[in-house]
A = this chain, B = another copy of it.
Amino acid sequence: MTDPSEESSAFVAELNSAHRMSYDEFVALHQRLCTWGPDREPDERGALAAISAETVLRTLALVDEGLSVSMARDLDTVASESNPQPTLHYMVELGDQQVPEPQAYRDFVGLEYHGRAVTHLDALCHMAFEGKYFGGVAAEEVMTTTGSTWGSARPTFDGVIARAVLVDLPRMVGGGCPMGTAVTPELLEDLMAKVGLELRLGDALVLRSGADADGPMGRATVSQLASGLTPEAFVWAAERGVAILGSDTGNELRPPRVEGVKAPIHALSLTAAGVLLLDNLHLERFAEECAARGRYEAAMVFAPLPIVGGTGSPLNPIAIF
């Protein structure tokens, strides 16, 4: 009998060797997604421009039960390998600062929200590739120590309402799906077909790797070993109109397979396709509800904190069934 961990190591090794990409190949893929050109004003909305009043109405028409569930992880104030900059949470007042009635209790919260611990939105100005943001905007011309004048989360301040389409790797891939699995275009297409869904303009593609599920290969190692889209799979999805990509990881396949590019999906999505990212989603509950219904789509709604010039926001997206 084979040791399961040996088996999965072999599986990962095989996948890894199969999906390597050179820097030049990556740049070619990147350019393929850059549909904007010198003759067009950079659109700060990125791929969100595809979300129209019609898609909002179609999205909300999915709601037939009136149940909403959070896709966010609890803020974590305890340092750990995957949480090196723990959220600050201090009580500012404990009912002792005012005249008797009523007693007020107030707190402070501080977040270095990028990283592996906090559920958050990546705005377009979170990443530049070869010095350029989406639309060809030069990062150094818009970004300063007080934030960016271009590419913040502002286009999402009025809220984003999109269909979330769940790819639940542990549930959908036969025989389990080890961390580090590369989701190729073929696998993605296959899984979509299996659940009877097609990606549409303005969709949010949500990938559950299982990193938050119990077990030894959990969140602690998500920076080293994480299932995720291959660059080609991202292109496949982007070309079908996906406007948002979310995952219970940092949305990157780990270990990395692209030479000289630390975060290829971030580079493709934020700087080429204008697709916003939702990192570190908590998908356990959402996935359970989907599985219980045998239906892998729901209305998703989120609205960031209005951080002027910021590179995104801590976030609590909800799925509504």
| A residues adjacent to B (C-beta < 8 A) | 23, 52-57, 60, 63-70, 72-75, 77-80, 83-86, 88-114, 119, 125-131, 139, 143-148, 157-159, 161, 260-263, 266-267, 270-271, 301-311, 313-314, 316-318, 320
From B92, B103, B146, contact of A128 by CB (8 A): B103
When chains A and B are docked, how far (Å) is the Cα of A77 from the Cα of B147? 12
In the complex, chain B residues whose CB is within 8 Å of the CB of A92? 90, 112, 114, 145
A256 to chain B, nearest CB (A): 11
From B52, B74, B79, B304, contact of A308 by CB (8 A): B74
When chains A and B are docked, how far (Å) is the Cα of A262 from the Cα of B55? 47
Give A312's nearest chain B residue, CB to CB.
B107
When chains A and B are docked, how far (Å) is the Cα of A309 from the Cα of B89? 9
When chains A and B are docked, how far (Å) is the Cα of A66 from the Cα of B202? 13
- Assuming A84-B79, A304-B316, A316-B306, is B102 touching A70 (CB within 8 A)? no
In the complex, chain B residues whose CB is within 8 Å of the CB of A146? 77, 89, 91, 97
When chains A and B are docked, how far (Å) is the Cα of A98 from the Cα of B256? 15
In the complex, chain B residues whose CB is within 8 Å of the CB of A313? 109
From B93, B108, B139, contact of A103 by CB (8 A): B139
In the complex, chain B residues whose CB is within 8 Å of the CB of A85? 79, 86
In the complex, chain B residues whose CB is within 8 Å of the CB of A130? 101
In the complex, chain B residues whose CB is within 8 Å of the CB of A316? 157, 159, 303-306
Q: Is the CB of B105 within 8 A of A127?
A: yes
Q: Is the CB of B68 within 8 A of A159?
A: yes
In the complex, chain B residues whose CB is within 8 Å of the CB of A119? 306
A176 to chain B, nearest CB (A): 29
- Assuming A86-B84, A102-B129, is B66 touching A57 (CB within 8 A)? yes
From B69, B77, B311, contact of A158 by CB (8 A): B69
Q: Is the CB of A260 within 8 A of B56?
A: no
A265 to chain B, nearest CB (A): 10
In the complex, chain B residues whose CB is within 8 Å of the CB of A91? 90-91, 144-147
In the complex, chain B residues whose CB is within 8 Å of the CB of A100? 260
In the complex, chain B residues whose CB is within 8 Å of the CB of A110? 88, 108-111
Give A127's nearest chain B residue, CB to CB.
B102
**Could you name 16 residue pairs across A and B whose Cβ atoms are closer than 8 Å?**
A53-B67, A72-B157, A72-B305, A75-B307, A79-B83, A89-B310, A92-B145, A94-B143, A98-B262, A103-B129, A107-B307, A109-B111, A159-B301, A301-B318, A302-B303, A305-B316
